[in-house]
Amino acid sequence: MDKRREQLRTWIAATFERLGIDLTPDWSLDTVSGDASFRRYFRVRSHNLSWIAVDAPPDKEDSAPFVAIARAWEPLEIHAPKVHEADLTQGFMLLSDLGDELYLPHLNAHNADQLYHKAMLTLTHIQQCRSILGKPLPPYDEALLKREMALFGDWFVTQLLGQQLGNKEQNMLAAVEQRLVDSALDQPQVCVHRDYHSRNLMVTAEATPGVIDFQDAVLGPVTYDLVSLLRDCYIQWPEEQVESWALRYQRMAEEATIMAVVPAAQFLRWFDLMGMQRHLKVLGIFARLMLRDGKVGYLKDIPLTFHYLLSVGERYPEFAGLSLLLRERLLPAMAQSGYFDAKALEAIG
C-alpha cells in the first residue's frame, strides 16, 4: 500500500472541498512522473479538467522555495505552474496542469530555432527577477560553485570509475575549479533557474514555454541557464548553431538591459567556462543518481556530458591538464567500466 499516495488523495479531496470545487465521484489520481529527486507528480482529473498534485515528503524536500518562486514569477510573463494550494507540513501541493509535452521529444532540426527563441525570451523574463516575495535570492557563490564541482571527483572519478587522483592531479583540478569560479563571479549576476533544459520546458498553447523544476533558483551568472539550454545533457546541436543561438541571446539580454554590452568573444568565453562548471557538476550528479539512488537511466547521458566538457576544455590552453586527465585516463576508465556503450564513447571524439 502506498501510504503517501492515500494521504495525498485525502488531502486533495479536502482541498477541493475547501476551495468550493466539486469532484466527480470517479475523480482520478494518476501517476505522471517521478524525477531525480524524491518528488512525485500525479494528475487529478475531474469534470474533464485536470490539475497536478505533488507529493514532496517534507523530511526530504523543502517545497517552500518552489511555492515562493512560482508566486513571485506570476507577474513576470513566465509560464510556470500556478500554485492553487500548498501544505508544506505534509509536503503536498496542488498546481495548474501545463500538460505532458516536454521540449525534448518535440525538438528537431525544423523547429529548434523557434522553440529555443521562445525559451530564450522566457529566460530574459526570469533574469529580471531580483527577489522572491521581498527576500533576496540565495547567492550562487564560490562555496556553492565549488561544492557542486566536488561531485565530479567524489562520485564520477572515484566511485563510478574507481580512479584515485594523485596530489598533482588534485592540485590541477583545484586550479581549474578556481578559474571556473572566477569566470562565473565575473559575469553579471541574475536570477538563475539552475536546470533550464529540454526536460524542464514544456510545449504549450501559450506563446512562451511552460517552465518547471525551478525551486533551486539562485542569484548567479548570466550564462548559466543559457548553457544549460544550449549544451543540454539530453540533446546535442551543431556547435556553430549553438554559438549562433548564444550570441542571439547576448543581444536579447543587452536589449533587455539585463547586462551591459560586452565583446562577443568575452560572452562566449563566459558561456564556455560556465558550461565546464555545470558539466563537471552534472557528471557527478549522474553518477550519484546511478550509484546511490539506483537510477541507471542517467548513465546513457554521461557520454554527451563528458563530450561537452572535453571538447570545450581542449579549446583553451589553460585547461590542458584537465583535458589530458579526461582523454588519457578517464575516457579509457569509462570504456573499461562496462557501464557505457562503445558507440557512445566513440562519439565523444
- For residue 212, with 0-12 CB atoms within 10 Å meaning exposed, 13-18 middle and 19 or more buried, which class applies? buried
- Confidence grade of residue 94 (pLDDT, cut at 50, 70, 90): very high
Q: For position 12, what pLDDT does the model report?
A: 94
CATH 3.30.200.20-classified regions of the chain: 3-96
Backbone angle region of 278, left / alpha / beta, with phi > 0 → left and psi within -120 to 50 → alpha: alpha
Of 192, 180, 255, 244, residue with least CA distance to 222: 192
Band of residue 19 on the pLDDT scale cut at 50, 70, 90: confident
Residues of the chain with CATH 3.90.1200.10: 103-346
| Residue with the three cell numbers 539585463 | 258
Q: Backbone dihedral region of 61: left (phi > 0), alpha (psi from -120 to 50 degrees) or beta? A: beta
**pLDDT greater than 90 at residue 223:** yes
What average pLDDT does the segment 272-293 reach? 97
* Amino acid 334: pLDDT: 97
**Confidence band, pLDDT 50/70/90 cuts, at residue 1:** low
Q: What is the pLDDT of residues 335-344, one digit of tens each?
A: 999 999 999 9
pLDDT 10s digits, 315-332: 999 999 999 999 999 999
Residue 261: the pLDDT is 97
- What's the confidence (pLDDT) of residue 134? 83
How far apart are the C-alpha atoms of 168 and 170, rounded to whole Å?
A: 5
Whole-number pLDDT of residue 333? 97
Angle between helices 112-126 and 239-255 (to 10 degrees): 40
**Per-residue model confidence (pLDDT) at position 135:** 87
What pLDDT was estimated at residue 34? 59
Only one residue has cell 498546481, namely 95
- The mean pLDDT value for 8-35 works out to 88
CATH topology of domain 3-96: Phosphorylase Kinase; domain 1 (3.30.200)
Q: Mean pLDDT, to the nearest integer, of 131-150? A: 94
* Res. 25: pLDDT tops 70: yes
Q: With bands split at pLDDT 50, 70 and 90, how would you rate the model's confidence at 38?
A: confident
pLDDT of residue 269: 98
- The domain 103-346 having CATH identifier 3.40.50.40: the answer here is no
N-to-C CA span, the chain: 48
Rounded mean pLDDT of 241-264? 98
What angle in degrees, to the nearest 10, is found between the helix axes of 264-291 and 142-151? 50
* Alpha-carbon distance values, 64 to 85, 237, 345 (Å): 12, 36, 41
pLDDT of residue 79: 95
Confidence of residue 39 (pLDDT cuts 50, 70, 90): confident
Residue 37 has pLDDT above 90, yes or no: no
pLDDT per position as a tens digit, 98-117: 999 999 999 999 999 999 99
How many percent of the chain have pLDDT more than 70? 99
- Given this model, what pLDDT does residue 35 score? 60
| Residues 176-189, mean pLDDT to the nearest whole number | 98
Inform me whether the pLDDT recorded for 36 exceeds 60: no
